[in-house]
Structure 1
Amino acid sequence: MQQDKHTTSHHRGHLPQRPEVKHQDTLDLREFWKTLVRHKRMIFIMSGATLALALLFTLGSKNVYRATATLQIERESTNILNFDFLELSGDIRDTRDFYQTQYELIRSRTLAAQVIKDLKLDDKLSETSPLTSIKQWLGISNKATEATALENAFLANLRVEPVKTSRLVLVHYDSSNPEQAAQIANAVVATFQKMNTERRINTTNDAKTYLETSVKESKAKLDESVERLDSYSRDNGIIIVNGKIETSTSITLNKLAEELLKVEKELAEKESVHAILTDANRPMAERVGALQGNVSYLQTMLKRLDDLKAKNAIESNTNLRKEIRQMEAAVKMEIDVKSRALPGEIENLKNSKRAIHDSIAKAKTEAIKEQDKFIAHGTLRRQVETNQELYQDLFRRLNEVSIAGGIAANNVAIIDAAQVPLKKFKPNMLTNLSFGALMGLLLGISAAFLREFMDDTVKSANELERVSQLAILGVVPEVLNNTPSQLAQLTIKEPKSSVAEAFRSLRTAMRFVLRNDNNITFVTSACAGEGKSTTATNLACAYANAGGRVLLIDADLRNPSLHRTLDIVAAAGLADYLQGNIDTNELVQATAFSNLSLIPAGKLPEDPSELLSSPGMKTLLEAARTEYDQIVIDGPPVLGLADALVLASLADTTLIAVRAENTRMAAITNALKRLRQANVNLSGLLLNRVALHRGNSYGYDYANYYYNDDKQTETGTAKKGVVTTLRSLKLM
C-alpha cells in the first residue's frame, strides 16, 4: 500500500497546476445580460402578468372626469386703512407656510362637510376608486362612520395644485359624473372664499369686543389711580409745579441753594479784588480797574496822571514832577481806602455763607424725612401715567377697529370657474399599459437578480475554477429526450453529436493528466444525480473508440447502474470478488462495444467501504493495470460516504463531475475539502449538462462548432443563425 502511494505521488508532479483565477473588480455588462437571458422566462411571465393586471384594471375602472377652478390667493389683504396692528391673516413669517396653510384649508374636513351639506351629496357622490366600489359591492360599509367615509371619499377626489411662480391655485375635482365634477369644484372655491371672509369678519368682531372690554377696564383703573394720587398729594402737602413734585421744605431748600450760590459768587469776587488792591507790584491802572462801583473819578485821575507823565517826558521840569507825585499819592490813597473796607465785607459774606449752610443742613434733614412721601407719590404718579397711556392706546385701537370692520378686501379671488369637462381624465389605456409593462419588467428583473443572488449553484466557469482551484477539463452540453442508457452510449452510437465531441475533448485532456503508467481514473461527484455514471461510461467509450483496451469498473456498491446502462445481466460482480465468492474469470464481462469490458458491482454488501479498502481491491487494480490501457472507476459521491475517499486513494487521478445549475458551490467546496484531506490526486472538473443555448456564463463557446446534424430542420438552422449573431455581438 505504501509503495502504491509512493508511485502515485511520483507522478503528481506532472499534473497541471491549479489555475489562479482573479476576481473581476469591474462591472461586466455581459454577465448581467446573461443573467437576464437565463431568467427570461420568469421576466416575460411577470411582465405579462403585470400587463394583464393593468389591462384588467383599466377595463374595469370607471371613466373619471376632472373639473378645474382657478383661485388667486394673496399673501395679505389690501388694507383700505393702514392698521398694521390688525393682522387678519395671522402671524405668518414665511410665505411658504402661509400658502401651505391655505392649501390645507381647502382640503379641510370642515370645508368638505359644508360642501356636502350645501350640495346635498349624501347619496349623489360618485365613487372613482375601484377599491371603494368593491367595498360597497361587498357590503363592507359601517353605518356609524358614513359621514366620515363620505368626507374621505370627497377629499380623495379633491386635488389642490399651486401654479409655480404665481399666486394662482388650481382646484381639481374628479368624478365619474362630469356635471357633478364642475359643480363640486365651483362649490369648493366659493365655500373657501366665503369661509375666508367669515373668518376675517369674525376676527374683526372678536377684536372689537375684546377692545371694548379692555377700554372699560382700563378706564376704571385710570380713575382709581388718579383718585389715589390726588388723595395722597392733599394729605401730604405735595404740590406739582411745572410737572415737578414740590413741598415747603423743597421750596425752602431751593431758595437757600440760590442764596448760597449768590453769596459764594460775591465772596469770590471780593476776595479777588482785595488780592489785586493789596498787591503793590501791580500797575496802578490794573489796581484801579479791579475796583467795582463808582470809581470814575479815579479813572479821570489816572488819565490826568498819564497826560502829565507824557508831558514830562517831552519837557521835564520841577513843577511837572511835583504835580505827578501829588497825583500818584492821591490815587494811591483812594486805593488804600477801598482796600481797607474790603476785609469787613468779606467777613460778612463768610458769615452769611455759614448761616446759609446751616439752614441747608436743616432743610436737607427735613427733605430726607419727606423722601418716602416722594417715592410713594412717584409710584402713584407712574401708575396714573401707565394707565392713562394704556387707556388712550386701547381707545384709539377701538376706534380704528370700529372703522376698519368690514372694509378690508378679501385676499381670495375666484379667477376662473370650473367648466363641465368634455373628455375623460382617466383611465388612460396607453399610460396604464406602459406603466404596467414597465413595472412588470422591473419586477421581473428584480426577481431574476434576487434569484441569481440567492442561488449558489454552479453558473460560471470562472467562479467554479476560482472556488475549487481546479481546472475545468471539459464541458458536456445538455441533451434532452434521452434515456440514461442512451446518454451513456452517445459517444459510440452518435459520434457526431456534441456529447461525443465533448468526451473526446475530455479524453484528450486526460492524456495530459495520465502519463507513464498512470491509467486508473476515478470518476465521482459531490452529490448524487450529477452524471458521474454517465461521465464514466462515455469516457470509457471514448477511450475504447480510440482503440485502447478499456476496463470500466462499477465500484458504486450502494447504488450500481452501469450494468443496466450497458444492458448486461450479471449475477456476480466486484462485491462478490472482494468477498472471495468468485475469481477473476467470472468477474470481467464483455460489452456490446469493442475494446470495452465491464466489472459490474455484483450483490450489494452490508459494508462497502470495508470491501473497497481490502487488499483484494488493490490487487485487482494492479492486475488490471497490466492488461488494460485505461481503467475507469465509477464510484459513489463524496459527501456522506467514505467509499469515494478509499477509491480516490487507489486511483492515479480523480475526476469530479459537476452538474451545471444544479450542484451547489458549498457542496463542491466540502467535497474537495474531504478529498484534499485524504491527500488524493485531483485531475480536474467536468462540467456536465450545460445548457449552452440559455446564455450561461461558462466561458466556453461550443454551441456553434459541433458537427451539424443532417436531420436538423430549417427552424433549427434559423435559430442557430440567431444565436450566432447574438454571440458575435457578445450579447450571449
Structure 2
Amino acid sequence: MNTDSKNLSNAASKEDNDEIDLMALLFAILRGWKVIVFFAVLGLVIGILYSKYVNPTFKSDALIQIEEDSKGVAALGADISELIGSEVSKAQAEAELIRSRMILEPVVNLLHLRIRLSDPNIGALDRIKSNSTDTQINKPEGVSLKTEDGEAKISQFNVSQEYLNQSFTLTRSATGFVLTNGFDDFKGQIGKAHLFKGTDGQIQIKVDVLPADGYSVNITKQSLQTTTDQINSALSVVEKGKQTDIIQLSMTGANQQQTSLILKQIVLSYIDQNQSRGSEETTKTISFMETQIPTLKKKLEDSEAVFNDFRKKYGTIDVGKEAELLLTENSQIDAQLNELKLKKADLTTYYTEEHPLVVQINEQLAVLNARKNEIDDTIAGLPEIQREFLQLSADTTINREIYLTLLKNYEQLKIVKAGQIGFARIIDLPISTYKAIAPKKLQIMILAMLLGAMLGTMLVLLKNLLKNVVKDPERLESKTGVPVIATIPRSPLLSRLSKNKKSAKRMLAHVDHNSLSYEAIKSLRTSLMFAMPTDSSTKQQGKVILITGESPGVGKSFIAANLSEVFAQLNKKVLVIDADMRLGELHEMFGMTQYDGLADYLSQGTGRQDTGRIATTNAQTVSSEANDHIETASKYPSTDITAVIHPTTMDHIDFMPRGKHPHNPASLLVSEHLGQMMDELKTQYDYIIIDSPPVLAVSDAMVLAQHADKVLMVTRYDDSIEGQLVYAINQMNKSNIQVDGIILNDVQQGIMSKYSYHYSYAYGNKQ
C-alpha cells in the first residue's frame, strides 16, 4: 500500500470513528427516552400552569404626526408669519419628550396612578384556577378594585414623603374602616375625607367603598418616579418607518380598558404641551402690542387735537403744488420710518443690535432719514404758517396710520392664537380591541415542553458521561486488551419470568431453548473448545473454566449454569462448582440446597491437615489460628469428595454447592487441599466450571484462577461501569493472572443500540 492509500484509509477510519461517536450519542439519547419524555411532560405541565397563572396582557396603539411648520399663521399672510417665525421638530426628539415627566405627570395626577390597590387574599392556586385576576381601574373619580367580597374604591390618598412606597392594609369595620401599616392604626368613616397624623407624617384619605367586614385590601402610595418608571416600562414610543415624522405609541397592560385610557391621556397631555409651545411666540407678541396700543392711541389723539386747533385759528390754507408733493413724499417717508421702527422694536425683543435683520433695518432708516432731512430743508423755505400746517397734518396722518396698523395686527394675532394647533396632530387615538397579546399559551406550552425535553436530554447525556457504562465490545477490547469472546443477548421470556421473585431461577434450555441467548451460549462453548490449551501428555485431563465478574449482579452464575448445560449436550462430563462461599446462589439454578458443598469439604480437609501439623509441634507454640482449624475439624467429620458432589436432573452434569458459610473463606481457598481436590476432579470430568465471587469484592477469584485453564470475566451490558471492569482486569494482571476473555451479558437488541449487530442469529424452529 502506498502513502496516498494509507492517508485515504486513515481519513476514512477517522471519519468512521466520528460517525460512530455521533451515533453513540444519538443512541444514548434514545435509550434515555423515558427520562426525556418525563421532563418534557413536566415542562408541559409547568407551561400550562404558568399560562394560567399569568394575567392576560392587552395592547393599545396610537399615532401622532409631527409637522415641520405650523400652517395657521401663514394662512393669515406673509407679514404675520414673518413676525411669528417657524418651528422645526424631529420625531426622535418628540418621542423622548413624550416619555418625560412633563408629559406623564399630568396623566398620573389625573388618573391617580400613584395609588396602588391589591388583594392579598388571592394566592397562586386561586390565580391558576381563575386564569386571570381582577386588576385596579384608575379613573379621574378615583381608584377601584373588584374582590370576591365586593368592590374597594378610593378617591383620595395622599401621604407624607416617609410613607411613600409603603404598604398599608385597609379593612372595613363596623363603624367605618381601619387603615394600618403594622405600627399605627387609623380609624375613619367611609365616604368622608380624613387627615391622620402618624409617627412619620400625615395621611390624607377618602374611602368611598370597601368589601365586606374583615376583608382586607392593600393600598400603597407610590412616588412619582416609581410610577413614571412603571409607565415607561409598559410604554413604547418609536418613529414608524424612517423619516416619516409619524410617532407610534404602544402600551401594554393587564386591563384593556385601563391601558387604552392611560395611553389616550398621554397623547392628549402631549398635544396640550405641544400647542402651548406653538402659541408661546404669538402670546408674547400680543402682550407687547397690548402695551403699545394705548400709547399710540393717546399720541394720535394729541396730534389731531393740535391740528384742529391750528385750523380753527388760521383757517384753511392752500398748499402749492410743490409743497403738496413734498408733503406727500415726506408723509410716505414717515410712514416707512414708523413701520421700520415698529419692526425693529419687535425684533429687538428677540435679537440684539448686531443681528443681520436689525442691521438691515438700521440701514434703511438711515437712508429714509437722509431723504427726510432733505425734504425738511426744502419745506423750511415755505412761509411759517404753511410749514406749520404741513407739519401738523403730517403728524396726524402718521400717527393714525401707525395706530391702525398696530390695531389690525393685534386683531389678526388674536385670531391666530385662537386657531393655533401646534406642529403635532393626532392621527389615531387608542381603541380597545379586548384581544390579549400574551400569554401565548400554545407557544408557552411548546417552549416549556421543548425546554423540559432539552433538560432531560442534558441529564441523560450527563448521566451517560459520568456513568460510562459498558456498551461497546470494541471499546472494551481497546481499553482492557482482552477480547470479547461472546455477547449474550437478553432473553425476553426469561426476563419476564425472573420478575416474579417467588418463582425459581430457570435455565435457558428449559424455558427458551430457541432464543438468541441460547445460541450465543452455544457459540461461547464452541469458542472455548477450540481455544482450550492442549497438552499431549495429558490430553484426557479435564479443562477448568473460571467464570467471575467485576461486581455482583453481572450474571456470572447464569453463564456458568447454562454453559455447563451446553457442554453436557456433547456427552461431556461436566462439574459445576459454586465457589462463592459467601453469597453463592448457583444451587437455585439446579433446584438444590447449598449444604454439603465446597466449604464443608475444604473445612474438614484443612482441619485434618492442621491437626496433624499441630500434633508434631510443641503445645506451647499452638497458635490461635490452629485452634480455629481444630475447632473447624471437630465440626466437620472426615468427608470423601463424593459426598459434596451431587448429580443434577440433567445428564452428564454434577454440581458442588457452596456449602455452609464459613468464617474464613479466603483461608480455605489458599490451602493445599484445594489444589489436591482440583487435581482429583480433573481426572473425573471433562470440563470443570467454577463460579467465583466478584474480583472487586474479594480476592477469591485470584486464588481460584491459579487452578484454571481459562479465566472469563462476565460484565453486564448497559449496567456495569467500564472503569470498574478495567480496574478488575488490571488487578488480575497484577497478580500474574491472564483474563482470557470477556463475556458481555444481557445485551439488549433494538434500534436504540448501535451494537445490535453483535447478536447471534437463531437458525431453526422458533415455535
- Determine if the TM-score, normalized by the shorter chain, exceeds 0.5: yes
1:603 matched residue in structure 2:
660
1:215 matched residue in structure 2:
none
CA change 1:533–1:434 in 2 (3 A) is same
The answer to whether the aligner puts 1:120 opposite 2:112 as a matched pair is yes
The answer to whether the aligner puts 1:524 opposite 2:542 as a matched pair is no
Q: Out of 592, 595, 605, which is 1:571 matched to?
A: 595
The answer (yes or no) to whether the contact 2:59–2:437 under 8 Å persists in 1 is: yes
Q: For 2:465 and 2:68, locate their aligned partners in 1 and report how far apart those are by CA, in whole Å.
A: 56
The answer to whether the aligner puts 1:443 opposite 2:455 as a matched pair is yes
Q: For 1:203 and 1:126, locate their aligned partners in 2 and report how far apart those are by CA, in whole Å.
A: 47
The answer (yes or no) to whether the contact 1:491–1:503 under 8 Å persists in 2 is: no
Q: For 1:707 and 1:412, locate their aligned partners in 2 and report how far apart those are by CA, in whole Å.
A: 92
Q: For 1:203 and 1:708, locate their aligned partners in 2 and report how far apart those are by CA, in whole Å.
A: 108
The answer to whether the aligner puts 1:51 opposite 2:16 as a matched pair is no
1:667 matched residue in structure 2:
724
Q: For 1:156 and 1:550, locate their aligned partners in 2 and report how far apart those are by CA, in whole Å.
A: 85
Query: How far 1:538 sits from its partner (Å)?
Result: 1.7
1:685 matched residue in structure 2:
742
The aligned runs of 1:66-81 (5 Å cut-off) are 66-72=59-65
The answer (yes or no) to whether the contact 2:470–2:719 under 8 Å persists in 1 is: yes
Q: For 2:24 and 2:670, locate their aligned partners in 1 and report how far apart those are by CA, in whole Å.
A: 46
The aligned runs of 1:276-295 (5 Å cut-off) are none
CA change 1:69–1:682 in 2 (3 A) is same
Q: For 1:46 and 1:596, locate their aligned partners in 2 and report how far apart those are by CA, in whole Å.
A: 51
The answer (yes or no) to whether the contact 2:597–2:644 under 8 Å persists in 1 is: yes
Q: For 1:467 and 1:445, locate their aligned partners in 2 and report how far apart those are by CA, in whole Å.
A: 27
Q: For 2:688 and 2:233, locate their aligned partners in 1 and report how far apart those are by CA, in whole Å.
A: 80
1:255 matched residue in structure 2:
none
2:496 matched residue in structure 1:
481
CA change 1:198–1:534 in 2 (3 A) is farther
Indicate the SS of the match to 1:572: coil
The more displaced of 60-69 and 571-580 is 60-69
Amino acid at match of 1:498: L
Amino acid at match of 1:634: D
Q: Out of 428, 448, 452, which is 1:416 matched to?
A: 428
Higher strand share: 2
CA change 1:660–1:395 in 2 (3 A) is farther
Q: For 1:652 and 1:572, locate their aligned partners in 2 and report how far apart those are by CA, in whole Å.
A: 26
Amino acid at match of 1:185: L
The answer (yes or no) to whether the contact 1:659–1:689 under 8 Å persists in 2 is: yes
Q: Out of 204, 222, 227, which is 1:147 matched to?
A: 222
Q: For 1:649 and 1:21, locate their aligned partners in 2 and report how far apart those are by CA, in whole Å.
A: 41
Indicate the SS of the match to 2:18: coil
Q: For 2:251 and 2:504, locate their aligned partners in 1 and report how far apart those are by CA, in whole Å.
A: 72
The answer to whether the aligner puts 1:562 opposite 2:586 as a matched pair is yes
Indicate the SS of the match to 1:505: helix
Indicate the SS of the match to 1:24: helix
Deviations 1:684-718 (A, max 9, x none): 211222332472343535398587864xxxxxxxx
Q: For 1:452 and 1:477, locate their aligned partners in 2 and report how far apart those are by CA, in whole Å.
A: 21
Query: How far 1:447 sits from its partner (Å)?
Result: 3.1
Q: For 2:434 and 2:592, locate their aligned partners in 1 and report how far apart those are by CA, in whole Å.
A: 84
Query: How far 1:61 sits from its partner (Å)?
Result: 4.5
Q: For 1:670 and 1:200, locate their aligned partners in 2 and report how far apart those are by CA, in whole Å.
A: 89
Q: For 1:88 and 1:166, locate their aligned partners in 2 and report how far apart those are by CA, in whole Å.
A: 14
CA change 1:31–1:456 in 2 (3 A) is closer
The answer (yes or no) to whether the contact 2:237–2:250 under 8 Å persists in 1 is: yes
Deviations 1:379-399 (A, max 9, x none): xxxxxxxxxxxxx99765899
The answer (yes or no) to whether the contact 1:462–1:699 under 8 Å persists in 2 is: no
Amino acid at match of 2:236: R
The answer (yes or no) to whether the contact 2:59–2:436 under 8 Å persists in 1 is: yes
CA change 1:199–1:578 in 2 (3 A) is farther
The answer (yes or no) to whether the contact 2:748–2:756 under 8 Å persists in 1 is: no
CA change 1:393–1:171 in 2 (3 A) is closer
1:655 matched residue in structure 2:
712
Q: Out of 596, 612, 625, which is 2:669 matched to?
A: 612
CA change 1:441–1:449 in 2 (3 A) is same
The aligned runs of 1:194-593 (5 Å cut-off) are 414-421=426-433, 423-478=435-490, 479=492, 480-483=495-498, 487-516=505-534, 519-579=543-603, 580=605, 581-593=638-650
Q: Give the total of aligned pairs.
A: 493
What is the aligned-residue identity percentage?
26
The answer (yes or no) to whether the contact 1:21–1:465 under 8 Å persists in 2 is: no
CA change 1:203–1:120 in 2 (3 A) is farther
Query: How far 1:50 sits from its partner (Å)?
Result: 1.9
1:157 matched residue in structure 2:
234
Q: Which has the larger radius of gyration?
A: 1
Q: For 2:563 and 2:281, locate their aligned partners in 1 and report how far apart those are by CA, in whole Å.
A: 99
Query: How far 1:638 sits from its partner (Å)?
Result: 0.8
Deviations 1:189-236 (A, max 9, x none): 34345567779999999xxxxxxxxxxxxxxxxxxxxxxxxxxxxxxx
The answer to whether the aligner puts 1:24 opposite 2:17 as a matched pair is yes
The answer (yes or no) to whether the contact 2:576–2:689 under 8 Å persists in 1 is: yes
Query: How far 1:413 sits from its partner (Å)?
Result: 5.2
Normalising by structure 2, we get a TM-score of 0.55
Q: For 2:531 and 2:67, locate their aligned partners in 1 and report how far apart those are by CA, in whole Å.
A: 89
1:328 matched residue in structure 2:
none
Query: How far 1:59 sits from its partner (Å)?
Result: 4.2
The answer (yes or no) to whether the contact 1:575–1:602 under 8 Å persists in 2 is: yes
Q: For 2:280 and 2:518, locate their aligned partners in 1 and report how far apart those are by CA, in whole Å.
A: 97
The more displaced of 651-660 and 58-67 is 58-67
CA change 1:560–1:495 in 2 (3 A) is same
CA change 1:543–1:107 in 2 (3 A) is farther
The answer (yes or no) to whether the contact 1:491–1:499 under 8 Å persists in 2 is: no
CA change 1:26–1:496 in 2 (3 A) is closer
The more displaced of 642-651 and 462-471 is 462-471
The answer (yes or no) to whether the contact 1:21–1:466 under 8 Å persists in 2 is: no
Q: For 1:569 and 1:512, locate their aligned partners in 2 and report how far apart those are by CA, in whole Å.
A: 34
The answer (yes or no) to whether the contact 1:659–1:687 under 8 Å persists in 2 is: yes
CA change 1:609–1:397 in 2 (3 A) is farther
Deviations 1:155-175 (A, max 9, x none): 453334554545544322223
Structure with the greater relative contact order (CA < 8 A, sep ≥ 6): 1 or 2? Answer: 1
Aligned residues: CA RMSD: 4.8
CA change 1:105–1:502 in 2 (3 A) is farther
Normalising by structure 1, we get a TM-score of 0.57
1:698 matched residue in structure 2:
755
CA change 1:22–1:188 in 2 (3 A) is closer
Gaps of 5+ in 1: 1-19, 90-94, 206-391, 401-405, 711-732
Indicate the SS of the match to 2:746: strand
CA change 1:162–1:574 in 2 (3 A) is farther
Amino acid at match of 1:572: D
Query: How far 1:27 sits from its partner (Å)?
Result: 6.8
Indicate the SS of the match to 2:497: coil
Q: For 1:74 and 1:703, locate their aligned partners in 2 and report how far apart those are by CA, in whole Å.
A: 85
Query: How far 1:541 sits from its partner (Å)?
Result: 1.8
Q: For 2:468 and 2:592, locate their aligned partners in 1 and report how far apart those are by CA, in whole Å.
A: 39
Q: For 2:728 and 2:763, locate their aligned partners in 1 and report how far apart those are by CA, in whole Å.
A: 32
Amino acid at match of 1:567: G
Indicate the SS of the match to 1:692: coil
Deviations 1:581-616 (A, max 9, x none): 422121211111111111111122222222212222
Deviations 1:401-429 (A, max 9, x none): xxxxx9x9977654432222253323434
The answer (yes or no) to whether the contact 1:38–1:694 under 8 Å persists in 2 is: no
Q: For 2:674 and 2:601, locate their aligned partners in 1 and report how far apart those are by CA, in whole Å.
A: 9
Amino acid at match of 1:175: G
Higher helix share: 1
1:38 matched residue in structure 2:
31
The answer (yes or no) to whether the contact 1:498–1:707 under 8 Å persists in 2 is: no
Q: For 2:102 and 2:519, locate their aligned partners in 1 and report how far apart those are by CA, in whole Å.
A: 82
